Chain A
Amino acid sequence: EAQVTQNPRYLITVTGKKLTVTCSQNMNHEYMSWYRQDPGLGLRQIYYSMNVEVTDKGDVPEGYKVSRKEKRNFPLILESPSPNQTSLYFCASSLFPGLAGVEQFFGPGTRLTVL
């Protein structure tokens, strides 16, 4: 089944404790992206990757890191989480970024709470 998976789905952690949220897709997509979703703010892009070893900042990259060593995986790293990073996080992938008719497929989401 074609899908985007994320782990963990739920995470409660404390300030400063490094964490990684994994994202994997099995559709051989070139493009992957991380978003955070907060009430009233919609989807805000954190980082994106056009291809292996190619990553770039989105609108809200501060406090986050990513890597793209393999085509299928795009982990999101929070080196020192803070309470303002409490949010719902979505990973997405598509064949190409934002081109007409190219659908972005989203993962199930990771709800992160930083105490």
Chain B
Amino acid sequence: GENVEQHPSTLSVQEGDSAVIKCTYSDSASNYFPWYKQELGKRPQLIIDIRSNVGEKKDQRIAVTLNKTAKHFSLHITETQPEDSAVYFCAASSTDSNYQLIWGAGTKLIIKP
């Protein structure tokens, strides 16, 4: 079955710098890759997603890239701000997993002032 690995587990960056979180997946049939953000004490919320027929997607300061050959996808946050501090989860789904999302273990992003 699908396995999603996420790195790093903790990332500390200076405010204003960029942050990159990477995920790898094992199932070549995976075709949907969302990213969720969970602020402290809150519920996870979708921030961006990408389908397997697209290589990159941007939404203001966040972007996601997908490399199907290498089976990895990444979340990029530019010009980081204090409100970006949170835990970020990647996930993948495919028809083989009955469309269930398989989640990475999460990355705690710390923005240093």
Write the residues of chain A forming the contact surface with B, with a CB cutoff of 8 angstroms.
33, 40-45, 48, 56, 58, 90, 96-101, 103-104, 106-109
Write the residues of chain B forming the contact surface with A, with a CB cutoff of 8 angstroms.
6, 9, 31-32, 34, 36, 42-46, 49, 51, 89, 93, 97-101, 103-106
Give the distance in Å from the alpha carbon of A89 to the alpha carbon of B23 in the complex: 24
Given A40-B105, A42-B104, A43-B89; A98-B99 close (CB under 8 Å): yes
Interfacial chain B residues near A33, Cβ < 8 Å: 100
Interfacial chain B residues near A45, Cβ < 8 Å: 100-101
From the candidates A43, A100, A101, A108, name the one contacting B103 in the complex (CB within 8 A): A43
The 28 sampled A-B contact pairs (Cβ below 8 Å) are A40-B9, A40-B106, A42-B6, A42-B105, A43-B44, A43-B89, A43-B103, A44-B103, A45-B100, A96-B99, A97-B98, A97-B101, A98-B32, A98-B93, A98-B99, A98-B100, A98-B101, A99-B93, A100-B32, A101-B49, A103-B34, A103-B46, A104-B34, A104-B36, A104-B101, A106-B45, A108-B42, A108-B43
